[in-house]
Chains A and B, each alone.
Chain A
Amino acid sequence: MEYQNPQVPEGINVSKQHPLKEFAWMLATVGAITLAVVLLLSLLAGWLVKFVPFSVEQQLASQVIQQLPPSASGPNHLQVETYLQQLADKLVANAPLPEGMTITVHYVDDSTVNAAATLGGHVLMYRGLLEKLPNENALAMVMAHEIAHVRHRDPMMSLGRGVVVTTALAALSGFSDTQLSGWVVGFSGNLTLLKFSRDQEHAADENGLLAVHATYGHTGGSEQLFEVLAQAHGDREAWATFLATHPLGDERIAALVEQAQRNGWQQSGPLTPLPEFVRQL
C-alpha cells in the first residue's frame, strides 16, 4: 500500500469575497435594519407618551429635580427667580397650557449659555444665557420655547424614547461578541434620535413665537435670541446640522420670519427692557 499526502489546492477553505466588499455590505445592512427598528420604536414610544398623564410625569420629575444644582446663594437670586416665574406665568396666561400642566422656573447660577425644559414642567434658566440676552422679548422667546417643549411633552417623549431605544440597541448589539458592532448599531440609532429632536425644536420655536406674539402684540426681539445663541455656540458648518440636536440659527430665524409673515404678525415693536437686577448679573 502506497502512503502519500496529496497536495491540497490553495484557497479551498477560504471565501473568495473581498473583505472590504463584505464589510460595506454588512455595515449597510446592519445600519438600515437598526435605523428601521429604532425609528419604529421611537414612533411607538412617542405615541404611547400621550397616554401617560402629566401627574405621572410630575412624580418622575421629583427625582430629576433633586439632581439639579442647588439654588444659588446670590443676593438677588430669589428676585431673579420670581421675575422669571412671573414672565412664564404671563406667557402661559396668553397661550394657555392643557389642564393640570404647570410651569416651575428654576434659576441656575451657572455660566452655561442655555435654557432647558425637563420632566414635570420644570424649566431651567441659566445665568450664562440671561447675561447675554438684550431684552425681555428675547428672554420671553426662550421661555416660551421651553414651555412649548413642556406642552408637547417632549421631555417625557425623550425619556420614553431613550429607555425604549437604549434597551433595543443593547439587545441588538448584545447578539454580537464585539463591542464594536454594538458601537456601529449605537451610532445609527443616535442619528435617528437627533432627527426627532430637530423636529421637536422646530415645533417648540413655532409655538414659542405664538406665545410671544400673544403677549407682546409683535414678534420683535425673538430673532435676537438666535443671534445670541449662534454667537455663544459658534456658527457651525451646514454639514454639521445633520449631527446636531438643534437646527442652525439662520435656519430658525428664517422659519420664524416665515411664520410671522404667514400669520400677518407685526415683526417689530417696542422692546421691553430687562429689569435692572437682571442686567446687573
Chain B
Amino acid sequence: MENLIGFVTLLILGYVFGRLAERRHFRSIIKREHQYAGTLTFSAKTPPADMAVANARLVSGNVVVSVDYFKQVLAGLRALLGGRVSAYETLVERARREAILRMKEQARQLDAEMIFNVKLETASISKGEQQQVGSVEVFAYGTALVPQKTATASPNLGQPMASRESA
C-alpha cells in the first residue's frame, strides 16, 4: 500500500509540475521566437552568391531537458502498447526549439543576419539506466554570417533584424 501511495504521489507531482514547467517554457519559447524571427536559419550549406559577407563564425546552442515522472510512466506504458509517444513529443520539441533559440541568441550577439548549414544533434542522457530520470540533449549549430557593414557604422546591435534588412 505504501508503494501505491508513493507511486501516485510522484505521479501527481510529476504531472502538476511537469505541466507547469512545460507551459511556462512554451510561452517563453514563443515569445523569444518572435523576438529573434529576424535571424534566419537555413540547412543549406552555401549562402546566397550576392551576399557580402564580412565574417563567418560557428554558432551553437545546447540544451538539456529532463522528463518528469508522469511522462516517464506514460512513455513506459506506451512502450508496451506501441503508438505515438506523445509524452516525449513535447519534450523533444521544446529541446529543439530552445537549442535553436540559444544559437540565434549567439548569432545576434555577433550581429549576424543569417545562419547557414544549421544542424541538430540529439542525445539521450542516462539511456537504458533503470530508475533514472531520462533527459534529452539537443545541440544546434551552424555558420553565422555577419554582413559587411556600411560606411556609417551604426550601433544597431539588439535591434530587430527585419528593420535592418529594410534599411
Contact = CB atoms under 8 A, between A and B. Distances in A.
Q: Say if A and B assemble together.
A: yes
Interface string B112-152: 00100000000000001011001000000000000000000
A172 B77 CA distance: 11
A178 B128 CA distance: 9
B3 A181 contact: no
Interface in A1-42: 1, 3-5, 7, 10, 13-15, 17, 19-20, 22-23, 26-27, 29-30
Given A1-B48, A26-B81, A19 B76 contact: no
A180 B93 contact: no
Given A5-B41, A13-B89, A176 B77 contact: yes
A180 B30 contact: no
B52 interface: no
A23 B81 contact: no
Q: Which of A7, A15, A19, A184 has the most B CB atoms < 10 Å from its CB?
A: A19
SS class, residues of chain B in contact with chain A: helix
A22 B74 contact: yes
B75 interface: yes
Interface residues of B, number: 36
B65 interface: no
B5 interface: no
A184 B7 CA distance: 10
A15 B86 contact: yes
Interface string B1-35: 10110010000000100010000000000100000
Interface in B55-100: 69-81, 84, 86-87, 89-90, 93
A241 B167 CA distance: 79
A180 B72 contact: yes
A45 B71 CA distance: 36
B94 to A, nearest CB: 10
A3 B114 contact: yes
A90 to B, nearest CB: 41
B73 A180 contact: yes
Interface residues of A, number: 32
B87 to A, nearest CB: 7
Contact of A7 (B37, B42, B131): B37
Contacts of A187: 4
Contact of B79 (A3, A22, A175): A175
Contacts of A14: 86, 89-90, 93
Contact of A15 (B1, B7, B89, B128): B89
Contacts of A19: 15, 19, 70-71, 74, 86-87
A21 to B, nearest CB: 11
B80 A181 contact: yes
A181 B76 CA distance: 6
Contacts of A26: 74, 77-78, 80-81
19 contacts: A3-B48, A4-B40, A10-B30, A15-B84, A19-B87, A20-B15, A22-B74, A22-B86, A23-B74, A23-B77, A26-B81, A30-B77, A175-B79, A176-B77, A177-B128, A180-B72, A181-B73, A181-B77, A182-B76
Given A26-B74, A176-B79, 11 more contacts: A1-B48, A5-B41, A15-B86, A15-B89, A19-B71, A22-B87, A30-B81, A175-B79, A177-B128, A178-B72, A181-B77
Nearest 7 interchain pairs by C-beta: A178-B76, A181-B76, A15-B86, A176-B79, A26-B77, A176-B76, A180-B73
